[in-house]
Amino acid sequence: MQAVIHGEEPFKCLKDTFAVAGTSAGYTLNYSVDKVNWTAWEEETPANEELIVNGVTPYMYFKLAGNVDENVNAIF
């Protein structure tokens, strides 16, 4: 399934893997179980670099903290 991520808008991944296209300024992936308390991923994703995430718990929430792009393609 393909989706579009808007800025820092939270999104839910229904599988244990997903990929996010590169962004103009980079970001830090954050994850949450309740969309209130967020934990930052270990490393920041630099500008123009794709992110592939494997082995996450399905149905968790994610957001691209620091993302300034309005339309970022993702594959779930």
How many CA atoms, within 13 angstroms, populate the side-chain half-sphere of residue 48? 0
Look at residue 1 and tell me whether its pLDDT is greater than 90.
no
> Quick one: average pLDDT of 26-45?
97
- φ/ψ of 36, rounded to 5, equals -115, -50
> Quick one: average pLDDT of 46-66?
97
Q: Which fold has domain 2-75?
A: Immunoglobulin-like (2.60.40)
CA triple 49-31-36, angle to 5 deg: 135
Look at residue 47 and tell me whether its pLDDT is greater than 90.
yes
CA triple 17-20-23, angle to 5 deg: 160
Where in the chain are the domains?
2-75
> Quick one: average pLDDT of 33-55?
97
- pLDDT value of position 39: 98
Global confidence as pTM: 0.93
Look at residue 44 and tell me whether its pLDDT is greater than 90.
yes
Look at residue 55 and tell me whether its pLDDT is greater than 90.
yes
